[in-house]
Amino acid sequence: MLHPLLLLLWLGSFLLAAALEHAPHASLWFPPAAVTFTGLYCMGWRAVPAIFVACVLGTYLTEVSNQGDVRLGVLASSSLVFALIHTGAYALPAMMLRRLAPLALTELTLRAVSQFLLLGALGALLAAVLGVLGLSQTELLEAPDIFELASAWWIGDYAALVTLAPFLALLLRHTGAPGDVKRFPPFEWGPWRLRRSAVGKLALLFAVTLAILLSYLELSNSRALLVMLVLPVVLQLWVVHTENLASAQLGLLGFSLLTVGAAAAVNVGEDALILQFAAISLAANSYLSLAAPALYAANKRLRDQVSHDGLTGALSRARFEDRAAVELADGLRAGRPTSIIMLDVDGLKELNDTHGHAGGDAALRELVVRCKACLGQEEFIGRLSGDEFAIFLPGSDEVTATGVVRAIREQLEKGPVQSLGRGVSASFGIAVADGGSPSLSQLLQAADQAMYAEKRARRRAT
């Protein structure tokens, strides 16, 4: 099923490219490049036979359109050269991305987007340069200016590739049997539904694009109007940042089809480059902008890793001390009392010996969970060392701090930790800054001493 589909997509898009030819052997869009790249990526080397056959048939159509009569020698050599160059040029980026795919995250990342854009550009460049040189030697093409033809070929291939590859990957994946087609992680649509807001934004994007293109066609192909295609780029970024991935890619596809349709309606000549640049710019900006949320999420994860203890979710020692120092200074300036509670788990070594380190970890996590249940929005807990924690209570005097300790004790006594089958207890110490200018380290030391005094008193009592 996939091979006939690939062949039909390639030939159908080849005929479309022929209709979009804006200069000899140069098309505004060359969708077969996207079909070849996507087929090789999704299907691997299994796609080569269908692509080879498509290249031969495409070469035949080119020979017929150029000469009318088929030159068998030229056709044979050109078919082989074009098939080898076209397949080989796009196999390089496609296979490299296949190797990188297992390392890619499921969300759209800057790394995945950059790899796709850069490797796609490399494949299109190789296909254009080697294709022009090779087919000139076989006499299929007559290229007075090889550099100009190669440039036009490259930009046409690349414009189609960056625009269509994600859609073609989606089509192949849904057509093939599960496991037959490799996923394209950077461009997974997932479950999607066009919201009313997305429909309105896409309609505005397409209306503005169409208005600019119609004005261009009506006003004697005024190049200045094409520069206004920057407006749809801005509207597309609005869609990207406010709607889902599917909506953004539909915006990209619609814009590209409209620009291609305008080029098919009239001879755009040298202005084709502006339309191609607009499509590529829209695609690149869309993909890079879509990757921004993943970058923000990655930065948040890094911040959380630095500022929070990975085991318990309490603040890290550095983050706790930084935040507490600022809060303490503000409280002293305002003349408000500030309290710190030190606590640690009783019998952690026994827990580790009896239940293993997993048991001790469970006790520490449960301690933090139950402590947080007793804290207000402005109060916070940090892990200072293995089993030692500190709670910062801004605006709290000793009575309030004692009440917090009482509430935490009650929480700890409510029930056992399920994974341990036993409860968790802790020792507490309180230090209060209600006058003078004590430093944070002095308060922590005072609370620590009070905590160990409580431990000693409890040992003497038992």
Answer yes or no: do 333 and 418 share one domain.
Answer: yes
- The span from the CA of 263 to the CA of 282, in Å, is 17
Looking at 188, 212, 242, which one is the last position of a domain? Answer: 188
The structure tokens listed for 263 are 């080029």
Answer yes or no: do 232 and 162 share one domain.
Answer: no
Answer yes or no: do 25 and 158 share one domain.
Answer: yes
CATH code, 388: 3.30.70.270
Answer yes or no: do 362 and 262 share one domain.
Answer: no
Q: Which residue in this structure is represented by tokens 């550099």?
A: 147
Q: What is the per-residue pLDDT for 227?
A: 80
- The span from the CA of 109 to the CA of 337, in Å, is 47
* pLDDT tops 90 at residue 267: no
Q: What is the per-residue pLDDT for 287?
A: 84
Split into its structural domains, the chain has a count of 3
Could you tell me the residue range of the domain that residue 260 belongs to? Answer: 191-305
- On the 0-12 / 13-18 / 19+ scale of CB atoms within 10 A, 147 is exposed
- The span from the CA of 53 to the CA of 61, in Å, is 13
pLDDT confidence bin for 186, thresholds 50/70/90: low
Answer yes or no: do 332 and 444 share one domain.
Answer: yes
Answer yes or no: do 78 and 205 share one domain.
Answer: no
Q: Which of 196-205, 259-268, 430-439 has the lowest mean pLDDT?
A: 259-268
| Top mean-pLDDT range of 1-5, 293-297, 363-367 | 363-367
* pLDDT tops 70 at residue 190: no
Q: Which of 81-95, 155-169, 295-309 has the lowest mean pLDDT?
A: 295-309
Answer yes or no: do 89 and 204 share one domain.
Answer: no
Among candidate residues 458, 402, 401, 398, the one with its CA nearest the CA of residue 427: 458
Answer yes or no: do 65 and 157 share one domain.
Answer: yes
Answer yes or no: do 364 and 265 share one domain.
Answer: no
- The span from the CA of 375 to the CA of 26, in Å, is 69
Sign of the alpha-carbon dihedral angle for 348, 349, 350, 354: positive
Answer yes or no: do 50 and 178 share one domain.
Answer: yes
Answer yes or no: do 286 and 391 share one domain.
Answer: no
Q: What is the distance, to the nearest Å, from the Cα of residue 229 to the centroid of all Cα atoms in its chain?
A: 26
Q: What is the per-residue pLDDT for 3?
A: 86
CATH code, 140: 1.10.1760
Q: How many residues does the chain have?
A: 462
Which residues neighbour 73 within 8 Å (Cβ) at sequence distance 6 or greater? none
Whether pTM exceeds 0.85: no
Q: Which of the two residues, 11 and 102, has the higher pLDDT score?
A: 11
Contact 262, 232 (CB under 8 A): no
Answer yes or no: do 13 and 98 share one domain.
Answer: yes
Looking at 188, 212, 235, which one is the last position of a domain? Answer: 188
Looking at 146, 163, 188, which one is the last position of a domain? Answer: 188
